[in-house]
Structure 1
Amino acid sequence: MVDTEERLTRSQVVARTFGVLFAASVFGLWIYAFLIYDPGLMVDELADRTFPIAAEEICAETSDRLDALPPAFRSPTAADRADVVEAANGELRTMVGRLRGIVPPDQGQITTGIGEWLDDWGRYIDDRQQYADELRLDSESRFTESVKANRQISRAIDSFAQVNRMKSCTTPGDVG
Structure 2
Amino acid sequence: MKLCILDRDGTINQDSLDYIKSPQEWEPLPGALEAIARLNHAGWHVVVASNQSGLGRGLFDVTQLNAMHAKMHTLLAAVGGRVDAIFFCPHGPEEKCRCRKPEPGLFEQIAERFGVDLAGVPTVGDSARDLQAGVAVGCEPHLVLTGKAAGLAGRPLPDSYPTGTIVHTDLAAFAQFLLEREGA
TM-score over 0.5 (shorter chain): no
Query: What range is the shorter-chain TM-score in?
Result: under 0.3
Greater gyration radius: 1
Select the structure that is richer in strand: 2
Normalised to the residue count of structure 1, the TM-score between the two structures is 0.28
More helix by proportion, 1 or 2? 1
> Structure with the greater relative contact order (CA < 8 A, sep ≥ 6): 1 or 2?
1
